[in-house]
Structure 1
């Protein structure tokens, strides 16, 4: 499984709007992509921390296809005006515990 984490800092005055776009447009679009397991926005408990867009994918090929299709960039652009700074994408692999048993 592949986990993509995009770290987001929103302008305080644009936060409500950005969260609404994420839930109404980003989540449904990502969940329709081949191999997507989950898509959610993690909200920080400390207001000084960043939000995290978390998506999980069945395979690296699925995650790469999503990223290279341009859909990721289009979705980021929907909330780009709401960013306090550029988002940072980090990608991780999650190994199943059963693979090591």
Structure 2
């Protein structure tokens, strides 16, 4: 599996609007993309930190195809008037892990 994280510094007076656009406009589009397993908005506990949009994909190829269509850029641009700083995209492979439960 593959994860994409977009770090976005948001103006403090725009946080509620960002949440609304993310949930109502961005989430449905991303969930409809081939290979998408989920999308989450991580909200900072310190308002000086970045919001993080986390998307999970079946494969890197699916995530790359999503970006290649221009959909990613169009969605990020929906909130561009809320930026405090330019968004930063980072990508990660998700390592296989075994969960052990203590008895």
- Is it true that 1:41 corresponds to 2:41 in the alignment? yes
> How much does 1:88 deviate?
0.3
Q: Helix, strand or coil for the counterpart of 2:79?
A: helix
Higher helix share: 1
- Is it true that 1:80 corresponds to 2:80 in the alignment? yes
Q: Which structure 1 residue ranges, 5 or more long, are not aligned?
A: none
Moved over 4 A (4+): none
Per-residue CA deviation, residues 38-78 of structure 1 (Å, 9 max, x unaligned), is 10100111222111000000001100000111000000110
Query: Which residue of the partner structure matches residue 25 of structure 1?
Result: 25
Q: Which has the larger radius of gyration?
A: 2
Q: Which structure 2 residue ranges, 5 or more long, are not aligned?
A: 99-103
Partner Cα separation in structure 1 for residue 95 and residue 11 of structure 2: 35
Partner Cα separation in structure 1 for residue 7 and residue 42 of structure 2: 10
TM-score by length of 1: 0.93
| Cα root mean square deviation, aligned | 1.0
> Number of paired residues?
98
